[in-house]
Structure 1
Amino acid sequence: MPPALTAQEIRRVARTTIATLAGQGLESCLFGSAACAIYGMTHRVPNDVDLVVLEDSLDPEEIKDMIVSANNNFYLVPAANPRNTYNVLWYYLPRNRRCKVDILTPGLLSIPDIPPENVVRVDQFQDIPVTPLLPLLLLKLRGWTDHMEDPRRWMQEKASVDEEDIDELLELAVDDYDVHLDDESDWLPNWFIEEARERVDEYVQAWPDSEDYWSQLGF
């Protein structure tokens, strides 16, 4: 089995995908665990790259096709489940390895529209635009509730990884980045904030020690 991907390789794939999209006139920002790592999450190394393309008029499958056409280091593989019609995007890495790249657009998984001017560039990784920290945390929280409610055991088991991510992101948001809901409410939609409040209540019920951090964020 090939060795696990390194943080440097994850960043390399992210940079290449972002640059390839930019060459097609599409702005994007890093999302998911790879974005969490850019902000300083250290308890694990991400194993894939998630990107939000800041354009909701294109289907993710169209965008994947554009990427593959523009850069031959990318390739598509049909979904493992034949009932699914989407393709999985992969990036070739040396030594017969590869990295999965997920392409998302606003509206999927409750991702809000992200104005380009709100995209963040963290000091040491200025060339990698990332999703703003508060919505990144709240979308990670959505992943936790989805996994908790999923009837499949293997999906429920992902919730413990989500909890570690959320706890570290909470500390980073409050202690390192001074994030507060009031500073984001001018662009985050009301539906997104209301959904988040419900999930925060659920998380606090499960993990009461997190309540103070959520309170400091404005919840």
Structure 2
Amino acid sequence: MLTTSELHDIAKKAERIFARYGLPCCLTGGVACQLYGTTRLPNDVDLVVLTTTYQQEELKRMLVKADPQFYLVSSKDPYATYKVLWYRFGTIYSGFARRCKVDLLAPGIMNIPDVPKRYIETIGGLPAMPLMLLLFMKLQARTDHRDSPKDFMHPKQWSDVFDINQLLDIASCRGETIREKTKWMPQSFVDAALSRIREYIANIPESKSKWRAIGYDRVQSMPR
């Protein structure tokens, strides 16, 4: 199990390397959730690099070139054309080294919208995806994991539910509302999220009050 400190160190290294290229980035996934206050321990680093100039494979190679502790391995999928990015701790001993998977994303991938730099939150010295966007991405992850054709992905939806419920409480405590915090997001992205919220409430009715606390009922009944 990796420590929170180790995960943060990886993220900081990657952020500094991309900064040399003038590329802002923000954390998403479990590390971003934890920065906002969720309690589930993440086991990898998910970073959104805010660029439309470079492809994912180019971004991976930037890190590998800049720091030898980042390295690439072939995917287990024999038909895959991409490499998987890992971060190695220390040196290899007897063929084994502790390591961490690093996923690099960019706007457009997984429907991630382009995030204006002014909306990125700095928490503990790390850039975090805006909370409402992070919540919407977790909703999407929950649906994707549940509907995946790969059976081993299905249990991950319950980790997503755990994160979503805690993020809802955190957003409510911060006074955030859907209407106010989604003005910059593409309408199609927000509409898809609202559809997932309806489904989430139908599946988990006890969450209805949490969604109401961040203004879901109001955004449903009024035009944007």
Alpha-carbon shift at residue 215 of structure 1 (Å): 1.7
* Aligned pairs (5 A) from 1:1-219: 4-42=1-39, 44-94=40-90, 96-122=97-123, 125=124, 127-175=125-173, 177-219=174-216
Alpha-carbon shift at residue 76 of structure 1 (Å): 0.7
Aligned partner of residue 71 in structure 2, secondary structure: strand
Alpha-carbon shift at residue 23 of structure 1 (Å): 1.6
Structure 1 gaps of 5+ residues are none
Alpha-carbon shift at residue 214 of structure 1 (Å): 1.1
State how far apart, in whole Å, the 2-side matches of 1:35 and 1:178 are. 19
Alpha-carbon shift at residue 167 of structure 1 (Å): 0.9
State the superposition RMSD in angstroms.
Answer: 1.2
Alpha-carbon shift at residue 74 of structure 1 (Å): 0.9
The higher radius of gyration belongs to 2
AA aligned to 2:152 is W
C-alpha deviations, 1:27-80, integer Å up to 9, x for none?
1011111100111111x2110000000112211111111111112221111111
C-alpha deviations, 1:179-199, integer Å up to 9, x for none?
112222331110111000110
8 Å Cα contact 1:24/1:66 also seen in 2? no
C-alpha deviations, 1:117-142, integer Å up to 9, x for none?
110112xx0x2010000010110000
Aligned partner of residue 121 in structure 1, secondary structure: strand
8 Å Cα contact 1:34/1:50 also seen in 2? yes
State how far apart, in whole Å, the 1-side matches of 2:25 and 2:109 are. 15
C-alpha deviations, 1:68-105, integer Å up to 9, x for none?
11122211111111111111111111372111110000
**What is the TM-score when the length of structure 2 is the normalising length?**
0.91
State how far apart, in whole Å, the 2-side matches of 1:152 and 1:185 are. 32
Q: In 2 relative to 1, CA 165–185 (structure 1 residues): closer, same or farther, beyond 3 Å? A: closer
8 Å Cα contact 1:48/1:99 also seen in 2? yes
8 Å Cα contact 1:54/1:114 also seen in 2? yes
Q: Which moved more, 1:26-35 or 1:150-159?
A: 150-159
State how far apart, in whole Å, the 2-side matches of 1:161 and 1:185 are. 24
Alpha-carbon shift at residue 152 of structure 1 (Å): 2.6
Structure 2 gaps of 5+ residues are 92-96, 217-224
Q: Which moved more, 1:70-79 or 1:94-103?
A: 94-103
AA aligned to 2:67 is N
**What is the TM-score when the length of structure 1 is the normalising length?**
0.93
Aligned residues: 211
